[in-house]
Structure 1
Amino acid sequence: MMLCVREHANLRGYNSLGISEEAALLVEVSSEAQLGDALSMAHEKSWPITVLGGGSNVVVAGPLSGLVIAMRSRGRKVLARGAEGVLIEGEAGENWHDLVNWTLDLGLGGLENLSLIPGTLGAAPVQNIGAYGVELQDVFHSLDALDRTTGRIRQFDRSECRFAYRDSIFKQVPGRYIILRVRMLLRHYYSIRVDYAPLDSAWEATGLHRPNARVVAELVCQIRRSKLPDPAELGNAGSFFKNPLVDSSQLEYLKARYPKIPHYQQSDGRYKVAAGWLIEQAGWKGMREGNVGVHVQQALVLVNYGGARGDDILRLAERIIEDVQRNFGLHLEMEPQRLG
């Protein structure tokens, strides 16, 4: 199938913040062959390249030159069943939440805590997406990615992805790899993770005692919908800031000043401090300035009320970062990637 390259394309429908910026050229690719053709075209004409998945973790802060490639490859399947679990594979353009529901329909557990996270499967390893005590790396098996420096497809196992909190090799060397497909190892017999507030109280209220991934997924969806706006109705990029990590001495200092500060111990001995709580305590929750603001239900979410530019979002984020640093001595990092 021939490529359909659009000129002067509006990117509003290609990013969840709903920011209207222009791509000089844009092409949607639905196969590995089409991706190869698009890359060859860009190479021949010396166009810079930007790859987009669902656009749920980017801030488009200016027009994009060169060629924007929107990954739209679809397909998912069970590769193998064994004693360790069920190995599944999905193409990069698969909608993440649709994939989660598919695994639940198969009776598989592991992704239920990650329900309703916006974006595509191919973007999930870049951020090592996570929610309610679970991260992608917990179920990750391997992925295939195109190495743009060699033109070859390379397989990455978990260790090679260098997963960390909202981080991976794909963020550390941006632009080098284009993720093609992802594999995860799930299980029919599983232990649910409901020890992360407010999910624990929601699970307790069900009165259930046996693991039930479908129920956990429904509870996660209910919680997320109660706190997070639908990007189709109010432009946003989900959680805009990472939760800062502190060591035990830093935590004790903070607890002495703020006894109610929410914190969660990590496997490496450090503690994750709730960024949303910090932002709310600094007085930003529900604040609106022109076309941008902080969501009234969740201080971690910056929203576009309509007509906002990427720079408007970034200026608001910088002011919040400075205020939290001044009030708590903690530095917030943005989750979304800046484009343009």
Structure 2
Amino acid sequence: MVVENHVSLQPFNTFGIAARAHRLVRVRSEDDVRALVRHPDWRARETFILGGGSNIVLTGDVRALVLKVELRGRRLLHEDARGWLVEAAAGENWHAFVQWTLEQGWPGLENLALIPGTVGAAPVQNIGAYGVELQDRFHSLDAIDLDTGEPLTLRHEHCAFGYRDSVFKHERAGARGMGLKGRALITRVRFWLPRRWRPQLDYQDLQRKVAETGVAEPTPQQVAQWVCEIRRAKLPDPAVLGNAGSFFKNPTVTPEQCADIIGRDPKLVHYSLPDGRIKLAAGWLIDACGWKGKTVGRAGVYEKQALVLVNRGGREQPCTGGEVMTLARLIQTSVYERFGIRLEPEPVVV
């Protein structure tokens, strides 16, 4: 177990915000976690679990004990006529893991290509893109209870997956299940990839790729390539322009609410959901309020995609978490005043 004091977290968050951890532990094995739980100086301390740092906004130095998850490894656990059961350690890079599965001939994760972050963080957020969510491919995961040091194995029904939501985002006394926020450190995640595969091409951007290329039945690798091209065209590279990806969740409304907004704004971008509700494109709502390209302090709205907030100050003079949240609140107020819709941020604010 590697313990470091007064560690800069700027390299560990994709927004590039300058902040420090008073103490950081690099978790490279399950034994590291158990040793931490047993240690009398640390077991009672508040902890903050840090994966790839792609979904956080740091508003100051972190006084909680930061657990930097760096477990590595990936393997095929089982194969049969129905599909493949694949496992990856929590510290593995998500996109690299997706690429690896495709290289092995195991399709199913291609629509989730190029999403930043780590494998262990993926179930926490129930990441999703272009018609596929992690819960659609999830089998089970292993974790360690930070209160007791005991191992946990959770299957799909235990994780309370929702839209960018899971049991790992809720406190123990919360409304959703048992609540594992800050209590469980995920160590390994398993995915079931069915052998009977078909491309998920329902989203407009992918339909446009089909029309442009004339390829009506793309391979998994082609779908992954299209997804990467679409994401690179819309989203800035965090290594060049700091950001946390999509900053707001796409809100859902009733058909009546949607019809009311369309009556005033006929160009509203929206999608019908299986349960009858309507999902609205948060980026369109923000853009309609005139925020694209605007800046508050050194935090700004990306000029190519209004759903993304960016660090205009770079690494040398980065924006602060306070500037990011001030901008976010101004956007929320603007969208609510025009559309009556409350936007909910995706990143975790620390």
Q: Normalised by the size of structure 2, how large is the TM-score?
A: 0.93
TM superposition shift of 1:48? 2.0
Q: CA deviation at 1:324?
A: 0.3
Query: Aligned-pair distance for 1:229?
Result: 0.5
Q: How does 1:3-42 map to 2 (within 5 A)?
A: 3-41=1-39
The partner residue of 1:225 within 208, 232, 237 is 232
Q: Which residue of 1 aligns with 2:272?
A: 265
Q: CA deviation digits over 1:209-262, x for unaligned, max 9?
A: 334110010011011111101111111000000000011111111121111111
Partner Cα separation in structure 2 for residue 312 and residue 74 of structure 1: 35
Q: 1:284 — aligned with what?
A: 291
Aligned equivalents of 1:64 and 1:47: distance in 2? 12
**Contact 1:88–1:185 (CA under 8 A) maintained in structure 2:** yes
CA distance in 2, matches of 1:143, 1:6: 28
Partners of 1:42 and 1:24 lie apart in 2 by 18
Provide the aligned length of Structure 1 versus Structure 2.
337
2:327 is the counterpart of 1:316: yes
Matched-pair contact (CA < 8 Å) for 1:54–1:118: yes
- The aligned amino acid for 1:85 is G
> Is residue 186 from structure 1 mapped to residue 193 from structure 2 by the alignment?
yes
**Pick aligned residue for 1:248 from 255, 259, 277:** 255
Deviation at 1:7, TM superposition (A): 1.0
Percent of matched pairs sharing the same residue: 49
Give 1:43 shift. Answer: 5.1
For structure 2, the residue ranges without an aligned partner over 5 or more in a row are 172-180
Match 1:294 to one of 296, 301, 312:
301
What RMSD in Å do the two structures reach over aligned CA positions?
1.3
CA contact (8 A) 1:203 1:219 kept: no
Task: Give the alignment partner of residue 206 of structure 1, picking from 210, 213, 218.
Answer: 213
User: In the alignment, which of 96, 100, 106 is matched to residue 104 of structure 2?
Assistant: 106
The CA deviation at 1:42 is 6.7
- Report the alpha carbon displacement of residue 187 of structure 1 after superposing the two structures with TM: 3.0
In 2: Cα distance, 1:204 partner to 1:138 partner: 27
Residue of structure 1 equivalent to 2:175:
none
In structure 1, list runs of 5 or more residues that go unmatched: none
Deviation at 1:10, TM superposition (A): 0.7
Is the contact made by 2:33 and 2:144 (CA closer than 8 Å) also made in structure 1?
Answer: no
The 10-residue stretch of structure 1 (269-278 or 254-263) with the greater mean CA deviation from structure 2: 254-263
Residues 20 and 309, structure 1, Cα contact 8 Å, conserved in 2? yes
SS in 1 for 2:67: strand
Secondary structure, counterpart of 1:268 in structure 2: coil
Which whole-Å CA distance do the structure 2 matches of 1:216 and 1:295 have between them? 25
Cα contact 1:143–1:183 (8 A) shared by 2: yes
The structural deviation recorded for 1:44 is: 4.3
1:50-104 Cα offsets, whole Å, 9 max, x none, are 1100000011111111421100101000110123310000000010000000011
CA distance in 2 between partners of 1:44 and 1:23 (Å): 15
Which shifted more, 199-208 or 269-278?
Answer: 199-208
Distance in 1 of aligned mates of 2:146 and 2:27? 16
Q: CA deviation at 1:151?
A: 2.6
Q: Distance in 1 between matches of 2:45 and 2:167?
A: 24
- What's the counterpart of residue 325 of structure 1? 336
Q: Which amino acid aligns with 2:299?
A: V
1:149 Cα shift?
A: 3.3
SS in structure 2 at match of 1:238: strand
Q: Are the counterparts in 1 of residues 82 and 196 from structure 2 also a CA contact under 8 Å?
A: no
The farther-off stretch of 306-315 and 86-95 is: 306-315
Alignment TM-score, normalising by the size of structure 1: 0.96
Partner Cα distance (2:134, 2:258) in 1: 26
